[in-house]
Chain A
Amino acid sequence: MIQRCFIVISLISLLAGCASHRTTVVLVPDPQGHVGKVAVQTQGGEQLLSESGQAVIVKNEKDAPAPATKFGDEKIRSMFGKALDAEPPVPEKFVLYFKIDSTELLPDSAMLITKIIGSIRQRKSFDISVNGHSDRSGEDAYNLDLSLKRAAYIKELIVKEGIDERYITTDSHGEGNPVVPTPDGVSEPLNRRVEVIVR
């Protein structure tokens, strides 16, 4: 009898599975309080969400999504509470600036090293990224090399403070990830930087 029940139940869920796979998407403010945009697409059409708490339900892949509705905090909490509680803290980012064409830190940036070590210890982080970035003056290859040297130097400083080097990855983003987008050949001090991300 128990076995028969089991079969019936799994058949129902199998049928339900084939028929629907219902998807619900809710737009909420990001950690900075900013509300972005999201487009939910099916074969039948698209629904755009652009306001906080706006939600769309998709019943299947063929039909167009239902018109957007609004979800209250209570409903969001009851549906997504566990997933929201599992959200890791947003990684902490430190930006270090250098003298032009050099691996020497500007004085204000040199003071940040202590704060970086504090953050690593407090979070018990074993996932630290040290990424070198350059501006767009000079040759690509030279910039890539310089920003890698800067990153390696910062890693050295962090390791000197007793952090295990296995937890640190260095990389060079070269000109490809600027803070201030500029045309090629432009010297921009805000782009000449190393970003340390403590996760």
Chain B
Amino acid sequence: MKMKPYLCILILCLLFPALSQGAESPVGSIKTLEGDVLVLRGGQSIPASIGMPVFQGDIIQTPASGSAGIIFRDDSIISLGPESKLSIMEYVFEPKDEKFSMLMKMIKGTFVYISGAIGKLSPDSIKLETPSSIIAVRGTKMLIEVKG
């Protein structure tokens, strides 16, 4: 079957939406894990493992008595306690173009957040959202609980 290259690419992009977002590279990785933690990605739920890369758009979900810890590219850290749900809405760390963005949604549960290089270089680019508030960070460590 002969097909023009751009058509192939178009079809690939339709089949795998992640591909169409350019060179989608990991924004961090899972470093600690307890219990059956799930990563919700493109309509699928994937069992998490240590070292697993995470991407923009992922939702991390911990079970009762489970937990997970993530280190992002700028060395910021977010860990999740039991029955917690974190959505990585947007994450950009491109110091050479001075592009920074970290938009996280803490949907429910308990969290530890430690700021990284983005907190130093561009603190205004960090936004942590909960269903009832927006948290603006000035380079620090904090604990967040969201009751559903």
**Chain A residues at the B interface, C-beta cutoff of 8 Å:** 13, 17, 20-31, 34-42, 49, 58-61, 65, 76, 79-91, 93, 126-127, 129, 144, 171-177, 197, 199
Contacts and interface: CB of A to CB of B under 8 A. Distances in A.
A36 B111 contact: no
B61 interface: no
14 contacts: A20-B147, A21-B147, A22-B147, A23-B106, A25-B133, A31-B141, A38-B136, A38-B138, A39-B136, A83-B111, A84-B79, A86-B79, A88-B70, A177-B95
B135 interface: yes
Interface string B126-140: 000011111111111
A133 B130 CA distance: 35
A27 B142 contact: yes
Contacts of B95: 173-174, 176-177
Interface of B: 29, 31-32, 34, 51, 65, 67-71, 73, 75, 77, 79-82, 84, 95-98, 106, 109-112, 114-115, 117, 119, 121, 130-148
A168 B32 CA distance: 20
A83 B146 CA distance: 13
Given A13-B148, A38-B135, A26 B143 contact: yes
B73 to A, nearest CB: 7
A176 B97 contact: yes
Contacts of A172: 96
Contacts of B69: 86-88
Contacts of B131: 21, 23, 61
Contacts of A127: 29, 31, 51, 71
A30 B133 contact: no
A35 B142 CA distance: 9
Contact of B32 (A39, A87, A174): A87
